[in-house]
Structure 1
Amino acid sequence: MSWSAPDDILLSTSLAGFLDKKLIVLLRDGRKLLGTLCSFDQFANVVLQGACERVIVGEQYCDVPLGLYVIRGENVVLIGELVITCYIKSEHGQTYVSTLML
C-alpha cells in the first residue's frame, strides 16, 4: 500500500520555494498585490511583507502601500515570482493615486 499526499499538502510544499521572494498575487476580485512572501499554510493563506496593490487606470499605474498583508487562500487565483533581470519599458506610466482618482 502506498501513501498518497492530499492535494493541499502538495500545494503548500510548492509555495515553500517562493519564501523570501518577491511575488505577484492575483486575487478573485481582480486586484494585483506585490510583496515578499513571509509565510503560508496548507490552505494557501499567504502573508506578504512590504505589500502594495498595483492599480492600473488607462495608461497609468500606481502602487498603493499596504505593509504586512494577510491574504485568505480562497481569494487567490494566481501566485507568481517577480524576476526583474533587466529594465523593460512598461506600456503604462507610473503616477500618484491622487492623479488616478480625478
Structure 2
Amino acid sequence: MNYMPGTASLIDDIDKKHLVLLRDGRTLIGFLRSIDQFANLVLHRTIERIHVGRRYGDIPRGIFVVRGENVVLLGEIDVEKEAETRLERVSIEEILAAQREEQQEKQEAEKAKVQALKERGLPLPRADVTEEY
C-alpha cells in the first residue's frame, strides 16, 4: 500500500463503520461515506451513543455531516468485536434521564467547589476557561 498524505489516507476506510468523538464530547457511530481535504465527514446510518457509567443508549441520527475541525478522534469499529461489550444497553429515555442526573451532579459539585474557593478567599475559575466546547 502506498502512503497517502492527510485525509487521502482515509479513502480505504470509506463504507466501513467508524466511531467519531467530537470536540463537544458527543460520540457518533456510523458508516463513513465521504471525506474531504478538511476532514469533513459524511456518516450514514449514524447513531449518537451516550455513555453513563456502565450503561449506554443509542439515538438514531441518520445521515450526519461533521465539520472536520470538530473531530477529536476517528476510528474504525471492528464489527466482530463490537458485540463483546461489557456495557449494558438501555432505552433512550433511560440513558437521557441518567445523563441529565449526571450533569446535575457535576453542576452541584462545581457550585460547591466555587463556594469553597469563595469561603477561603481564593480566586474563582474564569468562566471562559472552565466552559466546555
Give the TM-score normalised by structure 2. Answer: 0.65
Aligned pairs, number: 93
* Structure 1: distance between partners of 2:94 and 2:47: 17
- Structure 2 matches for 1:49-68, cutoff 5 A? 49-68=44-63
Higher strand share: 1
**1 CA distance for matches of 2:96 and 2:34?**
33
SS in 2 for 1:39: strand
Residue type at the aligned position of 1:24: L
User: Structure 1 segments of 4 or more deviating over 3 A?
Assistant: none
Question: Corresponding residue for 2:37?
Answer: 42
Runs of at least 5 residues in structure 2 that lack an aligned partner in the other structure: 98-133
Cα deviation for residue 41 of structure 1 reads 0.4
TM (normalized to structure 1)?
0.84
Greater RCO (Cα-Cα under 8 Å, separation 6 or more): 1
The structure with more helix, counted as a fraction of residues: 2
Residue 26 of structure 1, CA deviation: 0.8
Q: Which amino acid aligns with 1:70?
A: V
1:46-93 deviation per Cα after TM superposition (whole angstroms, max 9, x unaligned)? 0000001110112210111000000000000111000132442x2320
Which residue pairs with 1:13 in the alignment?
8
Q: Which residue of 2 is the match for residue 26 of structure 1?
A: 21
Deviation at 1:100, TM superposition (A): 2.1
Q: How does 1:79-98 map to 2 (within 5 A)?
A: 79-86=74-81, 87-88=83-84, 90-98=85-93
The separation in 2 between residues aligned to 1:91 and 1:70, in whole angstroms, is 30
CA distance in 2, matches of 1:62, 1:16: 30
CA RMSD in angstroms comes to: 1.4
Greater CA radius of gyration, 1 or 2? 2
Name the % identity. 44
Unaligned runs of 5+ in 1: 1-8
